[in-house]
Amino acid sequence: MTSIEENVKSLKGTLASLAKLFEYTRTDSNKAIINDLVMQLLYFTATNGGKHLHDLFPNKNNFPDNVSEILRGATAAGPFPKIADKFYVDGKEGKLSDINPIHTGRPCSKKFKKGEPIYRCHDCGFDDTCVLCTYCFNKKEHEGHQVYVSIASASNEGICDCGDPEAWTRELHCNCEYQNTGKKSKRDVVVEDDLKMSIKATIDLVLNFIIEVMIHTNHTLPEVHKNLKSSSTLKGLTIDFSDDASFQDVEDQNNRSFCLILWNDEFHNYREANDRIQAVLECDEGLAHRVALNVDKEGRALLKNETDIDSIIDSYYIVQRNGLTATIHSSRDYFKQELIKDIVDWLTQFINFPIFEIQSVIRQIFCESMTEAFDTTNTVVPTYLSSISFNLSKEKECFERGLLTDQNKIPRGGLTKFSKDEYAVGDLKNAIDKLLVADDKPLANSRLQYLMYFDVRYWKSLRKAIHNIITPVLVSNLSYKPVFAEQFVEIYPHLLNNRAYLDREWLLNIIQDTTVQLFTCPKTSLNILVNGNLGSILGPVIQLFEKNRSITENNDIIWRRRPILSPSDNISRSIMATESRSLSDIVQLIECPNINSFKEEHLCILKNQNLALLILLLEKFQSNWKIKRKEGEHVLTESTEFTVYFELNSILYSLVKKIGQILLKVNKENETSKQIVTNSIILLNNFLQLNYRKEKIIEQGDFTVMDFVVAKEEVGFMNPVNSLLSYVLEYSKWTDTAILNDKIISFSLQRNEVRHHDNNICDFLRISDISLRAIVLCSQIKSGFWVRNGMLVGKQEALYTGSFMSEGGFLRDIHLEQCSIMVEPSLKRSLFNFLDRFDLLNWFLNKEQIEETKYDEKVYYIIEELIIFFYDLLTNRLPFRYELTEEQKEELKIKNLISFSLCREPLTYSKLTENFPPMALEHPKFYDILQEVSDFSPPRGLSDSGLYRLKDWVYKTLDPLSAFVDSSDFQETANAIRTELSNHSHVKADDIVLQPRIAKLEYPGVFENFERVSKFFKTMQFAKLLYKLLQVSVDTDNEGFLPNLLHLVHAIILDDEISNGKNHQLQSIIEIPICNLLLMIIESQSISQSNIKKAEVILDLLFQKDETIIESSLIDCFGEEHIKSYRKSKPKNGEASESREEKRKRLAQHRRAKIMKKFEEQQRQFANKNKKLLSPESPESSKERNNNAIDKEGDSIMKDESEADESSEIRTCILCQMPENNEELFGLPCFINKSSIFWKVPLNDSAAIKLNFNEWNNQNAINDDEINHGRRVFDEINNKKRKRIDSRESHAEALFHHEASNPTESPIEEHQDNNIEDEGFHDALEHVESDYDDVINAYDDIIVDEIEYNNNDSENDTPMGEGIDIEIDHDREEGHSVEDVQEDYQNHTQQGQSETTDGSNISKEFGKSVDKRYVISTCGHGMHYKCFNQYVKTAISYTVGYQCPLCRTLSNSFIPSFIKPSLPKEFEIEGEPISSKYNQIVVQKNGKNTEKICSLFINEQFLQNLIRPSAIKDKLLKDLCLTIKENQILEKIYSDKTNYFSNIQSLSILIGNTIQVHEITSRFLSKDEDFNEVEISKTDNTLLTSLIQFRTLLTCCKKELVKATVTELMEYEVLWKEKFLHVGLFTELIMLSFQCDESLQTLIQFNVTKNFTIILTSLLDRCQKDDGSITILICANGDEYDCKEDLTFLQTLIVEKFFENKNEYLPELITCIKSYKFNNVQKSKNSFLVGLYLAIIRSMLPFYRQLYSFIRLLKPSFKIKSNDNNHLKNKNDLIISQMKEISSYLKIGTLCELSETILSNESKLEFNVFDNVLHSKIPKFRANGILTLEYSGVIRLIDLPMQLDKFLEVPPAVLKKTDSRATDSGATVSTSSVTSNAEGSLSYTSNPINLQYSICLLCGNKVDLNTPSTLTDQLIRHFLLDCEKSARLLSIFFNPFKNIIVVILKFNSSTNLVSKFLLPSPYLNRHGESNFRRGEFNGLLNVKRFHELNKMWLNQGLYAFLSRTAICSRNVLQGGGINMEQLPNDEFDMLTDQEVGFMEW
C-alpha cells in the first residue's frame, strides 16, 4: 500500500501543481509540451511508477526514472524533449501509434471518423443501424448481399457493430481477425497484478480529477450564467467561485489573474462572433476571424488573460452584448480545465492500446472505474447554491438547472414513478405531475453518470473526446453493458432535461449517441421494459410535452409551434429537436427489428403500469391538432404548424403498431398473458370512453346518437390511442364483443388488475365516433367543403389518408367503425350516427331536400365520399382476416400498394416508390412482390430508366374502389383497368363490368361478428338509403357518384352470395324497389355506357334471385309490356341497341378528344419553342418528327431520316417541307469541332504498346465473357428470388429477356446487323405516348453547367489556338507554343524518374499521346439554304452555334449538299504516274481527279445550272459564296492567307478525318479486324458525300468563285515541303487526291510508300530508344506467328537502307535482322523480323481500312471478299490477306513487293518517295514528331468492372496505377487487377479508403477530392492539365460513390468556356435506375449503356446528344443561337462538399 497508492496520490498533487509550473498560462507554444508531460506522467503512474513501462512499450528504452525527471524534462531551460524521444509514440513520423483494430472477444465499437466508409449489409444486419467499419468489413462474407456504403460525416456518428452478437443475423468473421491470423503477438503477455492495480488507481484518479474540476466549471449553465451576468457582485462571486475550485487534499495554489473565455453555440454566426471579438480585442478582422474559427472548432476560446479583474469584467459585458456566452475563470482554473483534454487524450490512447491483451485489461478496468460511485467526501460545494434563491424543493430545482445537490450529488427530480398503486381511469386525464413523482431511490452517482451529467458543461472538443471514451467502450464490454444501461436509464431524465433546456450545442448531446447504442439493442431494451424502468424514459418525455405546449383545462395540449422568441432563442430550437428525438428513442426502445424477434416478455409493455404511461403519452396527441372550418372569408395566411404534429404522430403510429404486433407472440394458453391483453383492451376502451361528450336524441327513434358537427366544431385528424386500441383488437384476434362493453372504475398498477363496475354500460359508439369525425373531416375536405381554410388543409387530409400514414390512421379508423357496428346492438343507431356525422341525417329523414343541405352543390361529392366510406366498411376486411399471418397481411398490403400505383401507367422504380411508407419499402419481400405483379423493361438508352409495368393478370384482380385507392382516383383507376382488360379480351372497355373484390372471412368468431356488418348493409334502412341515392342520381341526371353507388350495391349483393349462396333472397333490396331505378338507369339516354352495363349486371343478379318478385315490382312500375320487351330485347350478353351504339361512338370520340387534348398539352411546351420553325403546312409530320427526335438517342434518329432518303433519294427540307432541287442550294447543319480520339502509340508504356499490336477482339468493350458474366450475376439474383416466388410467371425470364432468349447471340452481333438501333427505334415509336414524360424527365438527369475557365494557358490557347494543327516547324523549334511547353511539362512530370535524360527529346520525336483534329458530324436534317437563312441564321455568324430546328443538335456550320447523279458512273482509279518524283507530285494543282469525282457525285443538271449563265446560276453562286464566307469554322481548320485555299484544304482535312473517325469507331464496334466491319452509317455517308461535293465544287467553280489569281503553286509548296502536317497520312492522301493530277492509284502508292517508310523508321528507332519493351513485344508476337510471307526483301531493305550507312543502330538489333533464316528450324528461334513485319502490318492496318472506306465511297461496287474467319484462324493472316486484296484491286504492290521495288528500281515512284522521306522528310521533321505512330489498337474508354462494389475494394494507390490495360488480356483486366491488388494485405497504417474520387474514363487516372477545392475544380484541372487523353477538348469521368458520369468538354475549342454535364451512370440497380439510394453499391454495369457512351464519344455523337438534351431542356434557344447560360447552383458540388450525409443514426 503502498507505493501504488502513494504514487497515485502524488499524481494529483503533480497535476495540480502544473498550473503554477507553467505560470498559469497555456499558450499555443506550450500546449504540446503540457500534453506530452501529462502523457508521460500518466503512463508513468499507471505502470506502477514506471515499473511496467517496458511491458507496455517493448520496443523502447530510455524510460524516465521518476516524476521529477519527467518534470525536469519538460521545464528544463533549453528546448524541450523532442517528439521522437517520447516513449509512448511510435517512432515513425512522431505520431501516436495507430489504433489497433483487432477486437477479439468484444465488439469493435470503433467510432467512425469523418470521411470513412460505413458498411451495412441488408442481408446480414439485424436492422439498418447495424454497421461495420472499414477494418472489420469482410467483403468475402457479403458476396451477392445488398451492401450499402455511406461516408461518415461529422454529425453522423456511430460505432462499428462488428462482434456484437445482437447486431447480426449470423456470425460474421471480422476482417481484422482474418487478416491477422498468425500475426498475433508471439510472446505471451501477462498483465501482472500490481500493474492492474496501478492502472485502476490511475484511472480512478484521473476520472475523479475531471469530475472535481467540472463540478466547479458550471458558469455556462443558463441559470448560473444568468445570475452571474446580472449580479452586482460579479467580481466577488468570480473570486469565490475560484476559491471553491481549489483542491482540498493537495496543494493547489491560486493566483490572482483571470481569463475571459468565449463559448460556442448553435445560433450565432461568424459575423456576430467576429463583431464582438473585434470589440473586445480591439483587433483586426483577420485575428477576430481566427479566434471565431477556433471557438467553432474547439468550442471555446481564451480571449483575455489579465490580472486586472475589472478590465476583464468590462470585456465580459462587451462580448456578451449580442447574446454570446462568455465566462470568467481564474487562470489556474482555466489551466486545470484544459488539462482535462490532455487527460482524455491519454485515456483515449490508453483504452485503444495496441497490445491487445493489455488493451483488454485496461478496458475492463476502465469500465469498472466508470461504473463505480464517485466519492464526494473531499469535494467543495460551489458557492452558487447560496447565491441562487430556491423556492421549491431544492433537489428538483437543481435537477432542472443541471446543478448538483448541496452534497455534490446528482439530484433526483425526473418524474418517473406513479405515486400510487390504484387509479381511477379518469385520473389518466390529469397532468403528469399529479400522477408521477420522482423516484426516492438514490442514484448510483457513478463516475459515468457524472461525466454524462456534465455533458452540457464541456466545450465542443472536450465533449467529443469524452463521448468517444464513454459509449464505445462501455457498450463493447458485454459484462458492463447492462450496468451501463441501468445507470444511463437512471439519469435519462437528467440528460433529456439538459438537452432540451440547457444545451447550447444540443446537436452534440451525448443522449443521442447512447440511445442509439442501447435502445436498439434488443436485450437491453427488453431489460428496461421488464424491470419497470419505462417510467424513467416516458415520464420525462411526457413532462417535456406538457411543459412546453400550452395546455387547456382538459389537459389537452394545444399544438401550436412554440414561438422562437429571438434568433438566440436556442431553447425553443433545442426543445423541438428534443421532442421528436425523444419519441424516436421510445420507438427504438420498443421496436424490434422484425416482428419475429418479439418475445412474450415484451408483453409487459401492455401491463397496466406501462400501458398507463403509454396512454398518458399518446393522449397528448389525441385529436390535439384541431382545425375549425372557416366560413366567410378565405383564410389569409396558412400555417404550417401542423407539420410538427403530423411528424410526431407518424412516429407514434409506428410505435403503436409495434406494440400491437407484440400480441402476435402471445401464447394463447398462458392465462397471465391473456389477462394482460384483456385488461389492456378494457383499460384502453374505458379510457377512450372518457372522451365522450354529449349525445342527442333522434326524434324518430328511441335512441340517441353522438352530438358533434364536424363542420362547426374544432376537429382533429389523428387519434393514436384509437389506433392503439385498433391494433390491439386486430392483433389479439379479438372476437369477444362483450369486452368492449365492460366498464371499469379503477385499475391497479402493481397487481395488473382492473376493477369492474356493475351498473354503467359502456357505449363503444363514443370511441368510434372520434374516429368517425376524422373520416368525415377528410371526406368534407375532399369534397371541397373546406376550401376557405386554404390549401394546406388539403395537404393534411392527403397526408392522413395517403399511403404514408393511412396504415396507422385512416385504416385504423375504418376498422374501429366496423368494430362499432359489431358491438352496437342497434344497427339503425349506427346508420343514423354515420349519417348524422356526415350531416345527411336530415335529408335521409326527409327533413331536408338534397339541395337544401349545408353542402349546397357540393352535396354530390359528399355523397360520393359517403358511399366510398360504406364500401370500405363492407369490403376492407384485412384487419379481420385472422387466418392470415402478419407477414401475409403485409405482403397483401404491399401488393395492393404496388398494383394500384402501377395500374394507370408503367413507372420507374423511383417514381413508383416515391410515396411508399418505409414499412413497405423495407419489407424483405418487397422486391419479390414487385416482380410477381409487374414486368420489368430495362432501359434502352443513355439516360432513361427501367420501367415496371403491371402484369395482365393483376388487372383482373383489382377493385378500383378499394381502400388502397384514393377515392378521388376511382374513376381514372376504373378506366385504366377497363382499358387494360379490354386490350386483352375482345370486349370493349365500356362493356367491361368490374367486380367488387370481397374476401370471405372464415376465422371462427370473426365470421359471426362480421355478419353483423353485412347485415347492416341489408337492413331496410340501408336499402332505403340506397334507393334515395339512386333516386337522386336519376332525378338530377348526376352521374358523379353513380359508379360508386352501383359498385356498392353490387358488392352488397355479392357479399350476400358469399355468406348465403347465390339464391338467397335479399329481402331489403327486393322490397325497396331498387330494381325499378336500375331499369330506369339502363333505359336512360343520358347515362354513360359503363354505368348502364353495371346496372344491367346488377339487375341480372337480382333476377336470378327471385324473378317473380322483381318482375312484378318492375311491372308495377313500368307496365307489363315494357318489361317484357326489355327482357326480350336483352340478349344474354346485353348486346347494345342501335341508339346505344351511336352513343358509344359519341362517347368514344369524346374520350379520344380528351386524350388528344392531354397529348397536345404535353407537346405544347416543345412545340411552342419551335413554333416559328415548324412549317404550317404539315404540323402533323413535324410534330411526329419532333417526338422522335426527343425520344431517341445517338444516331437512331438519323437512321430514321436516312432510311427515308433511301427510298426517295430526294430529301425534303425540314423547314418548308419542299423537296430539294437543282435550283436552290440545299445543305446540312453540321457541327465541326476538334476531337481527341486520335491516339498515338506512346513511348515507354509497354501495356499500351502491347495493346496497340494486339488482336482487337481482346480489346473490345463487350466481349462475350463479360456479357455472360453480367447475365450470370443477374441470373443468380433471379434464381434466388424465383425460389421464393410461386407466381405464375417468373420475372427472371422477363428481366433480361433479350439475352435469355438468344443465349448464343451476343449483342455485338446484333450491332453488326444494326439491330439495336432498329429495335430501339421501333420500340420507341410504339411507346412514344407513354414514354414522353419519361424522356422529358430524363433530361433532368442531365445537368449542364458552364464554367468560364480563366487560366493562363487556355487564354493562350486562343491566339495560338485554332489552325495550329498544321504546324510550321520553326514555330515549334522556337518554342512559341505554350501548349507545347505545357505538354512537355506534362510529359516530364508524367514519365517522371523513369525517363532518361534525353527522354523529352525522344517523346518529342515520337509525338504526344493524342492528336487533336477537326472532325465533322451532322444530324442529317437537310434544309434549303434559303430556309435556313430565314429561320435559323441570325445577324451573327452561325459559327457561334445554332440548333438544328428539328432535333436541336448544336451546329456551327452549314455544308451544302446536292442531289447525286441518278446513274452511277464508273470512276477510274488506275493510271500511270505522270511523275515519279515526290516533290513534283505534291505541287500538282490541277486536281484532275476532282473533276472526275465531281461528275461522280454531283448530277449533271446542277452542274449545268451552275455553269450556264442564268438567274439560277447567279443565285446559286451567291448563296455558295455566302455559305463559304460564313462557314468561318472552315477557315480555322487550315488557316492560310487566302480564304479559298484554306477552305478547300479544310474540306479535304474534314473528309479525311471523318473517314478516320468512322474507322476508329468501327474498331470499337466490330469484333475483329475484318475490313467489312468498317461500315459508315447512312447519315455519315450523306455527310461525306456532301463534303466531297462541296470540295469538288470549289475546284470546279474556282474561276467563278475566286476573283484574283492566286499563287497556288507556292502555297502547295509551302504546304508540302515546309510544313509538317499533323493530320495523319490518310488525310494527306485525301488532300492530295483532290489536289493532284495523278491517278488515285499513283497517289495511293505514293502514300503507302511514305507511310511504310515512316513506320519502318519509327519502329526501328523505337527499338533503339525506348526501354526495349517494343522489341520484346515484336519478337514475342513473331514467335507465335507462322509467317507465310517471304520477308527476304524486307530484310535486305532494312539492312541496306538503315544499317549500312548508319552507326546509330545497336549491334544486337542488326544481328537480329541479319540472322533471319528461312529454314523452318531456325525460324522459331529468331523471329525478330517476322515480329517487325507484323508490327508494320498492324501499324498500316488503320490506313488500309480507311483507304477501303474511301474507295468504297468512290466505287461502292468494290467489296472485299468476306472471309470466313474459320480458315484464317490467325487474325494476322486475315489482315494480310485483306490488305493484299486491296492492293491487288488498286494494282499497287504488297508491302514485301514494295520493299523489292524500292530495292530494285530507282526510277520508280516508290524508290523516290522512300528515298525522299527517309533522307529528307524524316530528318527535317524528326523533332516535330513525324515518327509518331498512330494508335492501331482499339481506341476506347477504360474498362469498368462489372460490379460497382469493386470500387469499394480499390485502395486509392492501386487505382491510380491501374490503367485497365496494364495486364494480360482485354476487358476483364481491370476487374482482375483490382481484385488481385485488393488481396494484398491492407496495411492498417494506411488511411482508410476514401471514396470521394472520380476516375477519368479516358486515361484511367483517379481524381481525388482531398484538397480544399471542389471536385469540379479538380476535374477541370485534370481536364486541362493532367490528362494526356482529354486534349483539353473532352473528358469523361466516373464518380463511383455518387454513381454518375461527369462529362467536361468544350463545345467550342477556341473559347475558354468549359461545360460540365452530369449523365446517368452505366451502373444500374436491378430496377434499371442509376440513382441509387444511400450508398447502395450493388449496381451492375449496363454494358449496352457503357458501350453506347463509348461509341458516342468516338463518333462525336456525345456533342450532339448533350446539346440536344441538356441545352434544349434549359430552354435557352434564342433566335437560333445558343446562349450559354451559367447555372446558379452547382448540384454536384453541393453533394460533394457535404460529405454526403444521407445517413442518420
User: Stretches 655-663, 813-821, 1213-1221, 2021-2029: which one binds Zn ion (CB under 5 A)?
Assistant: 1213-1221
Shortest Å, Cβ 1327 to Zn ion? 22
Is the separation of the CB atoms in 1651 and 1826 below 8 Å? no
159-218 residues near Zn ion, rule: CB under 5 A: 160, 162, 174
CA angle, 395 then 396 then 399, to 5°: 90
Using CB under 5 A as the binding rule, whether residue 1421 contacts Zn ion is answered as: yes
Using CB under 5 A as the binding rule, whether residue 1427 contacts Zn ion is answered as: yes
Using CB under 5 A as the binding rule, whether residue 288 contacts Zn ion is answered as: no
Is the separation of the CB atoms in 653 and 720 below 8 Å? yes
Using CB under 5 A as the binding rule, whether residue 1930 contacts Zn ion is answered as: no
User: Stretches 75-83, 118-126, 388-396, 2001-2009: which one binds Zn ion (CB under 5 A)?
Assistant: 118-126
Distance CA 216, CA 218 (A): 6
Q: How far is CA 1361 from the centre of its chain?
A: 39
CA angle, 1437 then 1439 then 1442, to 5°: 90
Kindly provide the residue ranges of all beta strands, DSSP E only, lying in 886-1001, ordered along the sequence: 934-937, 947-950
**CB of 145 or CB of 733, closer to Zn ion:** 145
Using CB under 5 A as the binding rule, whether residue 1216 contacts Zn ion is answered as: yes
**CB of 1444 or CB of 1656, closer to Zn ion:** 1444
User: Stretches 1438-1446, 1572-1580, 1652-1660, 1868-1876: which one binds Zn ion (CB under 5 A)?
Assistant: 1438-1446
Using CB under 5 A as the binding rule, whether residue 108 contacts Zn ion is answered as: yes
| All cell numbers assigned to 1248 | 499500351
Distance CA 1172, CA 1174 (A): 6
Q: Which of 15, 42, 124, 744 binds Zn ion (CB under 5 A)?
A: 124
Residue 244 neighbours by CB distance under 10 Å:
16
Is the separation of the CB atoms in 1633 and 1640 below 8 Å? yes
Using CB under 5 A as the binding rule, whether residue 508 contacts Zn ion is answered as: no
| All cell numbers assigned to 691 | 372522451
Using CB under 5 A as the binding rule, whether residue 863 contacts Zn ion is answered as: no
Residue 1215 neighbours by CB distance under 10 Å:
23
**CB of 142 or CB of 1199, closer to Zn ion:** 142
Shortest Å, Cβ 171 to Zn ion? 12
Using CB under 5 A as the binding rule, whether residue 118 contacts Zn ion is answered as: no
User: Stretches 156-164, 475-483, 633-641, 721-729: which one binds Zn ion (CB under 5 A)?
Assistant: 156-164
Q: Which of 1213, 1402, 1776, 1835 binds Zn ion (CB under 5 A)?
A: 1213
| All cell numbers assigned to 979 | 382499358
**CB of 110 or CB of 417, closer to Zn ion:** 110
Shortest Å, Cβ 916 to Zn ion? 24
1720-1739 residues near Zn ion, rule: CB under 5 A: none
Shortest Å, Cβ 385 to Zn ion? 45
Distance CA 1854, CA 241 (A): 59
Shortest Å, Cβ 1712 to Zn ion? 37
Distance CA 1507, CA 1521 (A): 15
User: Stretches 508-516, 750-758, 1119-1127, 1890-1898: which one binds Zn ion (CB under 5 A)?
Assistant: 1890-1898
Q: CA distances (Å), 1147 to each of 248, 976, 1034, 1153, 1430, in order? A: 97, 16, 20, 10, 45
Using CB under 5 A as the binding rule, whether residue 1215 contacts Zn ion is answered as: yes
Using CB under 5 A as the binding rule, whether residue 145 contacts Zn ion is answered as: yes
User: Stretches 456-464, 1460-1468, 1758-1766, 1920-1928: which one binds Zn ion (CB under 5 A)?
Assistant: 1920-1928
Distance CA 649, CA 643 (A): 10
Tell me if residue 534 falls in helix, strand or coil: helix
> What residues does 907 pair with on adjacent strands?
948
Nearest by Cα to 1340 from 908, 1944, 1918: 908
Distance CA 328, CA 261 (A): 6
Using CB under 5 A as the binding rule, whether residue 123 contacts Zn ion is answered as: yes
Nearest by Cα to 279 from 318, 329, 238: 318
| All cell numbers assigned to 606 | 401492455
**CB of 1386 or CB of 1539, closer to Zn ion:** 1386
Shortest Å, Cβ 1388 to Zn ion? 17
Shortest Å, Cβ 1898 to Zn ion? 5
Q: Which of 355, 410, 754, 1419 binds Zn ion (CB under 5 A)?
A: 1419
User: Stretches 495-503, 800-808, 939-947, 1916-1924: which one binds Zn ion (CB under 5 A)?
Assistant: 1916-1924
Using CB under 5 A as the binding rule, whether residue 1896 contacts Zn ion is answered as: yes
Shortest Å, Cβ 1858 to Zn ion? 13
**CB of 142 or CB of 463, closer to Zn ion:** 142
**CB of 487 or CB of 1955, closer to Zn ion:** 1955
Using CB under 5 A as the binding rule, whether residue 403 contacts Zn ion is answered as: no
Q: CA distances (Å), 1379 to each of 726, 1358, 1383, 1823, 1929, in order? A: 76, 11, 6, 16, 13
Using CB under 5 A as the binding rule, whether residue 46 contacts Zn ion is answered as: no
Distance CA 853, CA 841 (A): 10
Using CB under 5 A as the binding rule, whether residue 324 contacts Zn ion is answered as: no
Q: Which of 1923, 1959, 1994, 2006 binds Zn ion (CB under 5 A)?
A: 1923
Residue 1641 neighbours by CB distance under 10 Å:
18
| All cell numbers assigned to 376 | 464526494
| All cell numbers assigned to 929 | 412482390
**CB of 57 or CB of 1977, closer to Zn ion:** 1977
1444-1483 residues near Zn ion, rule: CB under 5 A: 1444, 1446-1447, 1449
**CB of 1077 or CB of 1923, closer to Zn ion:** 1923
**CB of 108 or CB of 1588, closer to Zn ion:** 108
Which alpha helices (H) appear in 1925-2035, and where do they start and end?
1983-1994, 1997-2002, 2008-2009, 2027-2033
Q: Which of 332, 1424, 1697, 1956 binds Zn ion (CB under 5 A)?
A: 1424
**CB of 146 or CB of 446, closer to Zn ion:** 146
Using CB under 5 A as the binding rule, whether residue 1709 contacts Zn ion is answered as: no
> What residues does 747 pair with on adjacent strands?
423, 754
Nearest by Cα to 1540 from 1597, 1467, 1580, 1586: 1597
CA angle, 1960 then 1966 then 1969, to 5°: 25
Using CB under 5 A as the binding rule, whether residue 1177 contacts Zn ion is answered as: no
Shortest Å, Cβ 1011 to Zn ion? 49
Using CB under 5 A as the binding rule, whether residue 136 contacts Zn ion is answered as: yes
Distance CA 1555, CA 1557 (A): 5
**CB of 1136 or CB of 1427, closer to Zn ion:** 1427
Shortest Å, Cβ 1837 to Zn ion? 10
Distance CA 1149, CA 1140 (A): 14
**Residue length of the chain:** 2041
Shortest Å, Cβ 109 to Zn ion? 7
Distance CA 1017, CA 1059 (A): 13
* Phi, psi angle pair for 154, to nearest 5°: -60, -40
**CB of 110 or CB of 219, closer to Zn ion:** 110
Q: Which of 74, 121, 659, 1929 binds Zn ion (CB under 5 A)?
A: 121
Shortest Å, Cβ 1217 to Zn ion? 7
What is the enclosing helix (H) or strand (E) of 1038? Answer: none
Shortest Å, Cβ 133 to Zn ion? 3
Is the separation of the CB atoms in 1591 and 1548 below 8 Å? yes
Distance CA 1217, CA 1424 (A): 10
Using CB under 5 A as the binding rule, whether residue 1899 contacts Zn ion is answered as: yes
The residues of the shown chain that bind Zn ion, judged by CB under 5 A, are 108, 110, 121, 123-124, 133, 136, 142, 145, 160, 162, 174, 1213, 1215-1216, 1419, 1421, 1424, 1427, 1444, 1446-1447, 1449, 1896, 1898-1899, 1901, 1923
